[in-house]
Every structure is written in C-alpha cells, then in structure tokens.
Structure 1
Amino acid sequence: MYQLLKMKNNGLKKEVIEFTQKLVSIPSVSLQEQQAAEYTADTMESLGFDKVAKDEYGNVIGLMMGRSAGPNVMLLTHLDTVIPADDDAGIMASGCIYGAGASDCKSGVAAHVFAGCLLKRSLLPLNGNLIVAAAAAEQNGCSIGTKYLLEKTLPGLGLKVDYVILGETTGLNLYYGHDGWIELDVKVVGSNPFKVGDAANTIFNDIDNISRENEIAYPNWQIINKPRIEDEQGLRKATITVGRRMGISEDSGCITGQLKHEAIMAIKNNSSVAVDVAVRTESQTLCTGHSIAVKKISHAWSIDPFCPLMEKARGSLKASGCKAQAGKWKLGRLGMGTSGSVILNEYGIPVIGYGPGDEDQAHTANECVNVNDIVEAVYGTSAIVHSLIGIPVFGWSSDEI
C-alpha cells in the first residue's frame, strides 16, 4: 500500500507545488480570507472531492465519503495569515516557497487537500468519512472558524468528528499540545483624571517590574501595554492590557484574581479610584460580514502521547518510512496557538498536529517552506488517515476495490 501511495504522490508533486505557490500569492490576512477560500474550494472540486462547501464564517469544507457514517477524521488547517502578502509572495527559490503563510499554514492546506486527492487516486477505500477543512479567523488565536465548524457547519451536514489532525507547522513531527495564553484588561476608573492617571501608571510599573523579574526564568511569560486613557460619561478610564502565558494546570479565573490583587495592592493608598480585571473582549468582523465578540483567551492543551490516536499515527508513519518523533509546539510569542485548544478542551475530540514547515518561520517577514516537506506531508498525512479510517487492502487488486 505504501509503495502505491509513494508512486501516486510523486505524480502529484507538480500540482502540490503549483497549488501552494498560488495560495501563498493570494492575500488572506485574518478576517480577509475570501479569495483564498474560493481558490481552495475550486481546487477541491477539480480534484474530485465528493462534496465541497463554504459556510457563513468563511470556512471551506471538502468531503471524501467513506462506506460508513463513521468514524470520521477531520484534517484541519487555516487560510488566514498575520502578515500581509507582498508582491513576491509565492515565489520559489532554492527549493523553498516564500511568502506570508507559506509555513503557517498554507503549505498545511496543500498537504491536506492533496492527501485527500492522493487517497482517492490510489483507490484506497475508506470506512468512515474524510473531512478536509480550511478555517477562517484562526490567527487571532481564538479559533472562531473552528468553533463554527464544529457547532454548526458539520452537524448541519450530518457529520460527527471522531479525530482531528492539525496541519500546523510541526517540522513533520507529531505534536500533541502546547501552552495557552490570556489577555486581561486592568481597568482603573475615577472622577479625578490626575488620580486615575497616577494609579494607572503605578499599576503599570508594578506589573512591569514583576514581568522583568520573571523574564530570565520564564521568557515570553508576560507582556504589558502602557495605559490607554479615555473619558466616558464624566469619568476618566485607564486600561492596561496584560498578556500572559498559561500552563496546562493554570486556571484563567485564578490568573485574573491574582492580577486584580496585585493591581489593588499597588494602589492601596488611593481610595478614589476603582479597579477591575477581566478577560479582554473585542469585536471582529469576518470576511463574510458576520460580526462576533471574541474573548482573548486560548487554554493550554495536551493529550496523552501514548493514546490510541498518537499510537496509530506514530505506527503508520513508521510503517510508511516517515519519521515519527513526538513533541509539542514551543509557541515562541504570546498570542500564538492552534485550534487544538478548542477542539480538545471544549469539544473533547482527540487531536494531534502533523504538518510541513518550521514553527520558527511562523509570522516572520521572510516566511518560507521547503517544497519536499510539503510533498512528504501529503504522503504522511494520507498514511495516518488510512490507519484511522481506511479499509485494509492487503492482497487486494485495484479491480476488487
């Protein structure tokens, strides 16, 4: 079976590279993914997916139907980028494709779309359904598109997801979790503008000092923004936004309470102002025009590295001749994350990551991905999918499939 997949995958290489180059060349900053979504959907249709749809949040869904209603695997990536595409986006040089999203996560989109195509062209039957989804509005770290997929779109199509494979950058390793993060607004309110300003500056300096003290032991643990001042209904308001990394055992309520205690203690002699702390919320308008309030929090997540999903994935990669090293995302900057947080913590669905690209390339000015890694990701992903929902084909001929 693996020789068949390899042979067919080699035949797909040119198409995979051309698709990735074109997708990277299409600007798709978060909340502006519509053109990239249309191109991805058109490609799925041309490759023979059984069903292709776009939902109200801008997500693209392609379905390869199996013989039964389940189990079902979802291959999930995202279309949006942090940095806008420039005029050279999609160019290939020295075996790499350059441009915003090349590594995070448009090469992953290519790997997933063509993994579905590879299984179809190899005539390898599936027991359950393969769902290939490219989500919108992921790069804000809150996985808006993924939530809508799982709550509305897929149930509306009569589909239940049993396993998820994220196509985020893993360097072709198997990843099973990462830390979380939270953004909190410290709000200082009072009628006296001078006392509000003094209190806000005192709180800022106190929290900033704590951040600096912890920076050596815990790099990128916390960032703090200077107070923003506004007047509303005769009151002076100052808002200090604090971003903080969250470990697997940390609770957002405890972090919020701790920060509020620190803020109150910093100005305990100033009784003329009120202080409160809450998770930062902002309104975002999706590429389809829908507006939604988003809480800026992404919880840490991790599955057992020896759970059935990891063991199946690891075994299939080894059997196919691919490397199968396990690990976790490092997330070098606050605000980075994956939709694994939502998928596992909110919906209880087993999820892992396997994709091309280097995590350190994500959100950088000269982002790039090696084309051979994309092609191998197509092959490795198809092997994992078949191990989960494929029908054994040992000894079968193509006429019997």
Structure 2
Amino acid sequence: MYRIMQERMTGIREEAINFARNLVRTDSRSLDESRVAALVEAEMKAQGYYKVFHDDFGNVVGLVSGIRPSPTVLLNCHMDTVSTSGGDAKRGPCGEVENGRLYGPGAADCKGGLAAQVFAGALLKRSLLPLKGNLIIAATTAEQNGLSLGLRGLIGSTLPDLGLKPDFAILGEPTDMGLYYGHDGWMEMDVRVEGLNPFNVDDAVKAIVSDLEKPAAANGERGRSRETLKISEPDFRDRKGSRSASLRVSRRMEPEEDSGAVVGQVKESMSRLAESAGGQVAVEVMVRREEQRLYTGKVDVVRHVARAWSTDPFNPMIDRARQALEAAGCPVKPGKWQLGRLGMGTAGGVLVNEYKIPTVGYGPGLESQAHAEGEYVEIEKVISATYGSAVIAHALAGIPVCGWTSDEI
C-alpha cells in the first residue's frame, strides 16, 4: 500500500508545491479570505473530489466518500493569516522558494499544511485506496487567535446539514511533522473601574495592575519563557463629575480552568483591592466580546476565549496514527504546542471541548515561524506532510489492504 502511495507522490509533488506557492502569494488576512478560498475550491475540483463547495461561513469543503457513513475523518487548516502577502524586503516576493524554503505570511501557519491536506486527499484518490468511511478536507475562516469562528460554523451547522459528524480530526497547524495533542488556553477580559473621586479611581487601578503583575513576575523569576499575562495601558476618562478607567487583560488558562470562574475570581479580587485602596469605586469584569463579519457577509459575535485542550496521548486514534506513520517510514514525534505568545491557539479547543472529537495536529511548519517576520516552511516537509496526512487518514477511515488488519478503533 505504501509503495503505491509513494509512487503516486512522484506525480503529485510539483502540483502540491505550486499550489502552496499560490496560496502564500495570495492575501488572506483574517475575515478577508475570499481569494484564497477561490483557489482552494478550484484546486479541490481539479483534483476530482466527490463534492466541493463553500458554506455561509466562507469555509471551503471537499469530500472524499467511502462505502459506509462512518468513520469520518476531518482534515482541517485555516486560510487566514495575520498579515498580508506583500513581500519581505529580505526575501523578495512572497511565494518564492529560496534554499528549499517557501517564504511568506502564512507559509508555516498554515498554508503549507493546507496544501499538504488538499493533496493528501488527492493522493488517496490517485492511489485508488478504498475508504470505509468519509474524508472531509476543510479550509476554514477566521481562526487566527484560536477563536475559530469558521470551524464552529462548519461543525455546528454545515456538516450536520449533510448528515456528517467527524469521528476524528487532524489539524495541519505547524508541528514540524510531530503528532501534537494539545496546548494551554488564554482569555481576554475587559475591566472597567469607575468612581466619583478621580484619585480613588487612580489608586484602585494602580493596586489592581500591581496585583495582576505579581504572578507573571514570579513566573519570570522561575525562568519561564512563555507569555502569561498582558495588560493594556489604562484608558482614563472624566465626565460629569466622575472618572472611569478601562483596561484589557489577557491571561493564560490552564486545562482545568473555566473562563466564567476566572472572571468571577478576578472581579472579586479587584473589588477587594479597589476597596482597600480607599474610596467608593465600582469594578466590572467581563470576557471581551467582538462582532466579526466574515467575507461572505455573515456576522457573528465571538468571545475572546481559547480553551486549553488535550487528547489523551494513549487514545486509540493516536496509537493508530503513530503505528501507521511508523509502518509508512515516517518519523513519529509526539508533543504539544508551547504557544509562547498570548493570543495564539488552534481549533482543537473547539473540537475537543465543545464537540468531543479526538484531535491531533500534524503539519509541516515550525511553531516558531508562526506570525514571525520572514515566515517560511520547508518545501520537502510540505511534501512529507502530504504523504503522512494521507497515511493517517487512511489508517483511520480506510479499508485495510496489503496485510493490514481490520481491528476497530
């Protein structure tokens, strides 16, 4: 089976590379992914997917159908990036390959992974390897910052309308070809302090900021490199005999933490600090909410919470993926994303926590390259991820051939 796939990879190689370059060349800032979506939809149709369409959320979905309704495997990458593809003064135009590296915004996070997943579906079709269940390849919108607005629409609306629910999910986020199974979360809170006496408001804000910074300072002293807290400069406003101060607080969330409980604890602590600072002031704390308009015109409100998530590393899905990669001659490197900066995340928090779908990450990029200046992905790893993604997908949803056993997972 693997020999067949490797032989078919020879014909796919240049197509996959050209597709990855075209993706990187094309601007797709978050909420403005229409041009890349058109490229993905056209490529899926050219590769002969059973069904290709885009939904109301702007997601592009390609289906490769099997002989049974399940199991269903979802390959997912987001199309949006945090910056444009206008070029890099050091590297020249985006989408160019230099010394085996494809440069440009989104190359690692995660257009290289998107190209690999689209052609993983094509590889399975060209290899004529039968599927027991269904394979869904979905390029989703508005994922950056881990808020996953497009994916929520896909899982909560689009796929159920087709009678589909993924049993497993594979994210093409940057893992450097590792099998990643989770990461910490983060949340943003809007804090407002208000009172009649401006000096009392100022003192309360100082006390609150000082108290918030203590845990972050302690973490720094222990040598932790990950960003755990970010506090905006207070915005003070005076009107009609009162003063208010607004600030935004971003903090890391551990797996056991709940955003509602965190808000309650923070509000109680801040109110107590404000009272101890002297004077009568009111403190309000709430999760930041933001209205977002997708490129399709659909509007929704998102909460700035990306929950921590983890798939049990001994989950049968991960065991099967690891075994298949080893049998196919691919390296196996289990791990978790480190997410050094607040505001980063993946769709895993939605898939695992909200929809109970076992999820892993497997992609060609380096996590350190996500959102980095001079972002790149290694071309050979895009090709390797194409093969490896097809191997995992067939192990989870394919019909065993060439000596494979048919044990269920």
2:254 aligned with 1:243: no
Name 1:363's counterpart in structure 2: 371
Shift, 1:70, TM fit: 1.1
Q: Secondary structure at 1:394's aligned position in 2?
A: coil
Moved more, 72-81 or 283-292: 283-292
Q: Deviations over 1:310-359 (max 9, x none)?
A: 00100000000001121111111111111000000000011111110100
2:380 aligned with 1:372: yes
Name 2:178's counterpart in structure 1: 173
Name 1:399's counterpart in structure 2: none
Asked if the contact 1:200–1:240 (Cα under 8 Å) also holds between the matched residues in 2, the reply is no
2:51 aligned with 1:44: no
Name 2:68's counterpart in structure 1: 68
Partners in 2 of 1:370 and 1:228 — Cα distance? 44
Partners in 1 of 2:305 and 2:239 — Cα distance? 27
Moved more, 3-12 or 190-199: 190-199
2:225 aligned with 1:224: no
Moved more, 255-264 or 20-29: 255-264
Name 1:99's counterpart in structure 2: 104
Alignment partner for residue 121 of structure 2, among 116, 124, 133?
A: 116
Moved more, 209-218 or 68-77: 209-218
Residue identity opposite 1:137 in structure 2:
A
| TM-score normalised per structure 1 | 0.94
Count of aligned pairs between the two proteins: 396
2:322 aligned with 1:314: yes
Shift, 1:55, TM fit: 0.9
**Pairwise mapping of residues 1-400 of structure 1 onto structure 2 (< 5 A)?**
1-87=1-87, 88-217=93-222, 218-219=224-225, 220-230=227-237, 236-267=243-274, 268-394=276-402
Shift, 1:265, TM fit: 3.3
Q: Secondary structure at 1:278's aligned position in 2?
A: strand
Moved more, 183-192 or 172-181: 183-192
Asked if the contact 1:178–1:331 (Cα under 8 Å) also holds between the matched residues in 2, the reply is yes
Partners in 1 of 2:56 and 2:245 — Cα distance? 36
Q: Deviations over 1:62-107 (max 9, x none)?
A: 0011111111101001000112222311111000100000000001
Shift, 1:297, TM fit: 0.7
Partners in 1 of 2:261 and 2:229 — Cα distance? 16
Residue identity opposite 2:130 in structure 1:
P
Partners in 2 of 1:179 and 1:322 — Cα distance? 27
Shift, 1:231, TM fit: 6.2
Q: Secondary structure at 2:57's aligned position in 1?
A: coil
Partners in 1 of 2:248 and 2:286 — Cα distance? 10
Q: Deviations over 1:177-232 (max 9, x none)?
A: 11111111221123444543443233223323443233233441111111123468
Partners in 1 of 2:212 and 2:360 — Cα distance? 35
Moved more, 291-300 or 40-49: 291-300
Consecutive unaligned residues of structure 2, counting only runs of 5 or more, are 88-92, 405-409
Shift, 1:238, TM fit: 1.7
Asked if the contact 2:204–2:277 (Cα under 8 Å) also holds between the matched residues in 1, the reply is no
Partners in 2 of 1:298 and 1:233 — Cα distance? 38
Consecutive unaligned residues of structure 1, counting only runs of 5 or more, are 397-401
Instruction: State the identity %.
Output: 47
Partners in 1 of 2:51 and 2:35 — Cα distance? 19
Partners in 2 of 1:102 and 1:30 — Cα distance? 15
Residue identity opposite 1:131 in structure 2:
I
Q: Secondary structure at 2:76's aligned position in 1?
A: strand
